[in-house]
Structure 1
């Protein structure tokens, strides 16, 4: 799929500003990606070397918006990256995508993930015109399950051995939210 030159929108809430990643965000993201506890539910290994995170951040910047897009999550008054939200596996023509998110563990339990994901959902449904968003969540990730259910996602099933991380196969729960359900909540 050829890259499109679609401007990277800035999304905001009263507390947060979601902006395009920059190369200098690699250090902040390495705080997430190098933390085994933060990465235990992701489909990536823990990054032990900063160069691995730098490569990941470059891929966040150089994306194909019709397929995937990443936002650096920052506090409104402080431009320092504290995590990310994204849509991926996007099929804009078929109007569906998956979402992902991670917040620096030092900033957990402050509502940043819920707020950032909520504004991402608004963007995906209102601006991109998507019909369906889905999230794949490890069955032991109780915090992420609580977050996604709070936002109105419905559990659709268990996908056995859905994802291979290193040499280990793992299960995922499939959650989905339809545009009409999101609008009814708003």
Structure 2
């Protein structure tokens, strides 16, 4: 597998310990709206845990694959992932969220490049789609 890191950060699988940090991020309604178009209100930690953690005793969901974007010091600075992975159609939807204080530093574009490399080379997808709101600069 190609090296999933850059000089400043790396991608690693999303872990349950990351959810508390994400809950803090998603208290900002405007940030949440840019990331999750279906969210109607801020998400607290229990809501995040319910939405992102698989129920106990279930088979892992193979239609999604999420990574944490972490700095050299293992500080979480964003998340990037693939949703609605279809091995039949060999496509998926890509999503990204960068913590507000770390935006405009190139982390997002480099994370997407690593994630696209994973999607095309490692799991054999042919097409990736992304959706962004018009007001998401």
Show the counterpart of 1:114: 109
Query: Structure 2: where are the runs of 5+ without partners?
Result: none
**Residue from 128, 133, 137 that aligns with 1:138:** 133
- 2:53 matched to 1:58? yes
Matches within 5 A, 1:1-186: 11-41=4-34, 42-43=36-37, 44-59=39-54, 63-65=60-62, 67-75=63-71, 77-141=72-136, 143=137
Divergent runs of 4+, >6 A: none
TM-score normalised according to structure 1 size: 0.63
Match of 1:4 in 2: none
Unaligned runs of 5+ in 1: 1-8, 144-186
- Report 1 or 2 for greater relative contact order, CA contacts < 8 Å, sequence distance ≥ 6: 2
TM-score relative to the length of structure 2: 0.83
Give the structure with higher Rg (CA).
1
- What are the Cα deviations for residues 4-60 of structure 1, in whole angstroms up to 9, with x where unaligned? xxxxx982222221111222112211232111121122222343422112333424x
Would the alpha carbon gap of residues 15 and 129 (structure 1) be closer, same or farther in structure 2, given more than 3 Å must change? same
More strand by share: 1
